[in-house]
Chains A and B, each alone.
Chain A
Amino acid sequence: MLLRVDKATTSKFLLKRRPTSEKLVDIGFKNIVIAMASMVAIVLFSIFAIVYYESTESISRYGLRFLFSSAWNPVTDEYGAFTAIYGTLFTSIASLLIAIPLGVGTAIFITENIIPKYIRDVIGIMVELLAAIPSVVLGLWAVFIMEPFIRPFLKMVYEILGFIPFFGTEPLGAGMMPAILILVVMILPIITSISKDSLNQVPSNLREAAYGIGATRWTTIFKVIIPAAISGITGGVLLALGRAMGETMAVTMIIGNSNNFSWSIFAPSYTISSMLANQFGEADGSQVSSLMYAALILMVLTLFVNVFAQWIVKKLSLKYQ
């Protein structure tokens, strides 16, 4: 039986074509958002292109020698970024080694039911608020409060272990060690919040099964929970590494800014970003090109770490559903 529609209804609801103006708005809007989405790609490409273009002079002059020379002499036009590259890698990796146990430990503490939930929530929020403090304020705090406070301890280490090259110079204020400590403060929130999220995502069945066969809390954590959450934790750690390598202000204020290479962690040093912050403003000629070369190296390093982080999260993530 056909559905009969009387004339009064059809005259009320006419099938009309969309007016041209509405179609134009629709198509125009689509093209506008496509253009806006492409802005990301354009900005990213032009950052690479411009930094590369500006550093070509230095790349063709020094080539890979730039990576292994610690000369930095604007008078004789001799540049090399070894100290800065070593400083970048050393400070970021050392701070990571300190921050991983602290951050993951905190994340475990606030995802387990050791203390009441509201206290854990407060701790979680506080750690995340730490990420909101600008790095220049942390630098200010490090210069005036933290560094004078830890100097006697560092001096003690120097007096006892001074024969080891790593502790071979007297701590006299700014240096690599305070920079490492302030980097720990900066990357802790990243590691903690990402680890917390991935620990929370582990299905509770796994935990219950482990408890059921008699595992203790920490056996469960080490053998079941952490392996299940390892992809997220590794991703967070790598993101933190990228952040630590690119971190500028706090490090610039506390690392001492010296291009003289030293094995000692108490001596003033340089990172690529602090070198840029210090010298870019008043550089000219081939020094700009050399700084751009250093910036390119920093970009490639952080790009590599970030892409690797995204890849490893995809690769390692276990699917439970």
Chain B
Amino acid sequence: MNYNTKKNLTFNPSLTRNIGNKALTIISSLFAIISILPLVLVISYVLIKGGSYINLETLILEPEPPGDDLLSAGGIGPAITGTFIMTLIASIISIPVGVGGGIYLAEYSKSGKFAKFVRFGSNVLAGVPSIIAGVFIYALIVSTKILFGSMFSGIAGGISLSILMLPTIIKTTDEALKLVPDNLRRAAFGVGASKFTMISNITLPAAFSSISTGILLALARAAGETAPLIFTALFSRYYITSFDDIFYEMGSLSVLIYNFALEPYESQNQLAWAASFILVVVLLSLNILSRWINTHGIFSKNKV
């Protein structure tokens, strides 16, 4: 037998397998470049084009009706407060319900039938298109005028956003609590704590930073949603002046972008770019903050 080992074991770049290997590596790196290209393009356009329209007037003025004044379109102030208020309403509803539901899943019924069903249900709810949440709230609240006779309102918009936040919060709470070691629970029971004390003093604090990551991500998603708002909160050009105003139409950044992007007037389009600058900056910072909390865990010393 002729063992020409030296020749056979040398890397030979002209072999078909090695050429194919190299070609596939190049293709996959091209795919990776194509995949991040949209992010780079969108972010740079939004930051440069949108950022150039940002000034104090844009931030605080109310938007003018389209076509009224071709030179100035006012500002996006009411939309910023509207987005803030509706996200706040959505958080007030969905954070307690979501965290409570997650506590039930992780602490009371780890693998019961009802818990399995709730987990399945929250996965399904997470997959429900956001516009369906809008349709649902329209049929439930807006068209029936069930909330003190108000039709399109900020509160209806907030409720429809809360439906979108709910599954994310339940899921992250459930998973965060499941990661808390059982030793902590047994130790708490061992020194005579009741289940409520155990949850509120031991497991929730231990899982706090993971839960807040999930809540921030859900908030970021809700603040950018448009579809559920276009026929629940509609749009308003005015600042809210009193508490009662949340029962009337309310503007939001995302609906402002949608409405003004399709206007034929240049000044309105500029407002849309300015609004998307604010929205993208806020949402990206929320996302980066949530990542940071997840890795560093600022809120609790005994992170698990």
Contact = CB atoms under 8 A, between A and B. Distances in A.
Contact of B121 (A41, A106, A217, A243): A41
Contacts of B107: 33
B31 A105 contact: yes
A216 B127 contact: no
Interface in A204-247: 216-219, 239, 242-243, 245-247
B35 A44 contact: no
Given A40-B125, A127-B35, A134-B279, A248 B104 contact: no
Interface string A291-313: 11001001100110111001000
B299 interface: no
A46 B276 contact: no
Contacts of B43: 133
A138 B25 CA distance: 30
A51 interface: yes
Interface string B185-219: 00000000011110100000000000000000000
**Which DSSP category, helix, strand, loop or mixed, fits chain B's interface?**
helix
A32 B28 CA distance: 51
Interface stretch (B54-62, B69-77, B129-137, B240-248): B129-137
A249 interface: yes
Q: Is the interface of A mostly helix, strand, loop or mixed?
A: helix
A54 B139 contact: yes
B29 A298 contact: no
Contacts of B128: 44, 47, 246, 299, 302-303
B227 A144 contact: no
A246 B101 contact: no
A150 interface: no
A185 B38 contact: yes
Interface stretch (A57-65, A71-79, A108-116, A261-269): A108-116
Interface of A: 18, 22-23, 25-26, 29-30, 32-41, 43-44, 46-47, 50-51, 54, 101-103, 105-106, 108-110, 112, 114-115, 123, 125-127, 129-130, 132-141, 143-145, 185, 188, 192, 216-219, 239, 242-243, 245-249, 252-253, 273, 276-277, 280-281, 291-292, 295, 298-299, 302-303, 305-307, 310
Given A44-B124, A135-B224, 11 more contacts: A36-B100, A40-B125, A103-B35, A105-B32, A133-B39, A242-B127, A249-B227, A252-B258, A273-B227, A277-B227, A281-B234
Interface of B: 17-18, 20-21, 24-25, 27-29, 31-32, 34-36, 38-43, 45-46, 96-98, 100-101, 103-105, 107-108, 114-115, 117-118, 120-125, 127-136, 138-140, 163, 166-167, 170, 194-197, 199, 220, 223-227, 230-231, 234, 254, 257-258, 261-262, 269, 272-273, 276, 279-280, 283-284, 286-288, 291
